[in-house]
Amino acid sequence: MIKKIIKRIFVAIILLPIILLLLGVIYFHIDPFEYEILTDTTVELNAKEDYYNKYWLIWVNIPEKVEIDNKEYIVTNIGSSAFSYCYLLKHVKIPATVTVIGERAFYCCENMTSINIPASVSRIEDHAFLDCKHLSKIDLPASVKYIGEGTFLGCDAITSIDIPAKIEHIGVAAFNACDNLENINVSCDNVYFSSADGLLFDKDKITLLCVPGNKKGNFKIPPYVSQIGEQAFRECEKLTNIDIHAKIKKIGDCAFENCNGLTYFNIPSTVSYIGKGIFSSCDNLETVEIKDGITSIENSSFSHCYKLKSITIPESVKSIKDNVFWCCYNLNSIKIPNNVTHIGEDAFGCSGLTTIDLPKNINTIEKNAFYRCDKLISIDIPMGVTSIHELAFYNCENLETIIIPSSVHHIGDRAFYDCKNLDVVIFNSEKDVNIGEDAFRNCKSVTYLTENQEKEETENNETEETESQNDDNADENEINEDENSEEVEFVIEEEVQEEDN
C-alpha cells in the first residue's frame, strides 16, 4: 500500500510541471511569442527565438492590442513562421486589427480544421498555410488583395476555394497539391482572374493557371487556352492523360511536376517553349514525344522520371540544359540530334544509359554530365570537343573503352574517377593535355598516342572498314551470280523440256 502511494506521489511530481506548463501556455496567455514594433502605433506578433512552448498550443486568442514599455500598440501583422509546426493547434482567433498573415505563419499546423480570417486582412504571404492537411474550410474575405506563392499548398482537406473580387495577385502553386480540391471559383467582378469548370485562368482565359488536385482520368485543355502556366498541373496525381491541342504555344516551369498518373505525353509542334522541370518527378512517365518547335530542353525537365524509357528529341533542339535526365534509371538509350551544341551539367547523371552518340557540334562535356552512369558501356567523343569537365564520367564502372580525340586539351578533376573497367586512349601527348587531379584514378589503363600514331590508327580503322565493306560487296556479288546462274539453269531446263516435247 505504501509503495503505491509513493509511486503515485512520484508520478504527480513528474506530471505537475508539465500540467502547469500546458495550462499556462495553452489557456492563459501567448507566452511563447513576442512583438516587434513596426510603427509608432503597430506591432507584429512573432515566435520567440529558440522557444519551444508554442508547440504545445491548442487554442490561441491573438490580442488586438499589447502594451510595451507602458505604451499601447495595435497588432497588425502575424509574423513569419509565428505558428509553424504547431501540430496540436486547433483554434486560432485572429483579431480584426490584423492586415497581414506572414510567410509560413501556420506552416504544418496539421490539426487545424478551419480558420476565420477577418475582413481586415489584405495580404496572405507565401506558404502561410502550407501543409495544413486537415484544413477543410477557408473563407477568403473581400478585403484580401494578395495571395502568395504556395499559400494553401498541400491543404488536402479543402474541396473548394472562392476567389473574391478584389484579389489582384495569386502566387504560383497557391492551391496545388490539394488532393480533394475540386473547384476554384472566381468572382465575376474580379478584373485579374476568371474560372470555368472549376479551373483557374487569367481574366481573358489565355493562360491556364491552376488545375485542382482532384481532377481525374483524361483531361482536355480548353480550346481557348494558348499557354499553360507555371505549376498549373503540379501534383495532379489522379490524371492519367492530358491532351494538348495544337493552339498551345508555351508551357511554364514545372507545369506537370509530380503528375504520377501520366505514362505518355505528346508535345505538338505549335509549342515553342517548355519550362524548367516540366515533368520533374513524374514517377510513371514512360514515353514522351516532342515535335519540331522547341529549341531548348530546360533545366531538370525530366529529372527523377524513374520509368522514362523513350523520348523523341526533335531536330529543332539546340541545347539540353542542366539536370535534364538526372536519375532517369530506365532510359537506356537516346538519340540526340546533331543540331545540339550544348549538353549541360548533370544532364544524364545517374541515368540508365548503356550507350550514347554525342552530337558532332558540341565542344564541351560539362561537369557531372554522365556522373554515376553505371550501365554505360560505350560512348564516342567527337572531334571538336576541347574540354571534359570534372566528374563528367565519375564512377561509370562498366565503361570499357573511350577514345579521347586530339582536340581535347583539358580533362577536369576526377573526370573518369573509379571507372574500374575503362581503357582510356588519348590521341595526344601527355604534355599537351591539362589533366586534373585524380582524373583517371582507378581506371584500368591510360594510353597516350602521338599524332602519327593517331593517323595510323585512323587509317587502320578506315582500311578495316573498307575491307569489311568490300567483303560485304563480294558476298552480295556472289549471291547475285548464284541467283543469275539459277535463272540460266532454269531457262535451259525449260528449253530442253520444250525440245523433248
Whether residue 467 has pLDDT greater than 70 = no
Are 412 and 386 within 8 A, CB to CB? Answer: no
* Model confidence at 3: pLDDT above 70: no
Measured between alpha carbons, how far is 438 from 366 in angstroms, rounded to an integer?
A: 17
User: What is the rounded distance in angstroms from the CA atom of residue 393 to the CA atom of residue 374?
Assistant: 9
* Tens of pLDDT, residues 228-252: 999 999 999 999 999 999 999 999 9
Distance between CA 214 and CA 369 in Å, rounded?
Answer: 38
Contacts of 114 (CB under 8 A, 6+ apart): 135, 136, 137, 138
- 29-80 pLDDT tens trace: 445 789 999 999 999 999 876 655 677 889 999 999 999 999 999 999 999 9
Q: Which residue has the higher pLDDT, 7 or 391?
A: 391
Cβ neighbours of 465 (radius 10 Å): 10
Q: Which amino acid is at 433?
A: V
Give tens-digit pLDDT for 356-386. 999 999 999 999 999 999 999 999 999 999 9
Helix (H, G, I), strand (E, B) or coil at 250: strand
Please state, for a pLDDT cut of 90, what percent of the chain lies above it: 79
- Greater confidence, 254 or 3? 254
Number of other residues whose CB lies within 10 A of the CB of residue 116: 12
Q: Judge whether residue 493 has pLDDT over 50.
A: no
Is the pLDDT reported for residue 329 higher than 60? Answer: yes
Greatest pairwise CA separation for the chain in angstroms: 135
223: exposed, middle or buried (Cβ count in 10 Å: 0-12, 13-18, 19+): exposed
Q: What is the DSSP string of 101-151?
A: E-TTTTTT-TT--EEB--TT--EE-TTTTTT-TT--EE---TT--EE-TTT
List CB contacts of 252: < 8 A, sequence separation 6 or more: 227, 228, 229, 230, 231, 232, 275
Half-sphere exposure of 159 (CA within 13 A, CB side): 1
**Could you give phi then psi for residue 442, rounded to 5 degrees?**
70, 10
Percentage of the chain exceeding pLDDT 70: 83
Phi, psi (deg, nearest 5) at residue 409: -120, 0
Question: CB of 43 within 8 A of CB of 66?
Answer: yes
Judge whether 289 and 267 are in contact, CB under 8 Å: yes
Which of 2-11, 75-84, 248-257, 314-323 has the least mean pLDDT? Answer: 2-11
Cell numbers for 416: 573518369
Q: CA 160 to CA 184: how far, in whole Å?
A: 6
For the entire predicted model, the pTM comes to 0.83
Convert 164-224 into a string of H (helix), E (strand) and C (coil): CCCCCEECCCCCCCCCCCCEEEECCCCCCEEEECCEEEECCCCEEEECCCCCCEEEECCCC
CA distance 395 to 200: 46
> What letter does residue 422 receive in the DSSP assignment?
P
Mean pLDDT for the chain? 88
Residue 463 has pLDDT above 80, yes or no: no
* Res. 144: pLDDT tops 50: yes
Interatomic CA distance for residues 67 and 272, integer angstroms: 59
Between CA 455 and CA 179 the distance in angstroms is: 64
24-38, 77-91, 111-125, 265-279: segment of lowest average pLDDT: 24-38
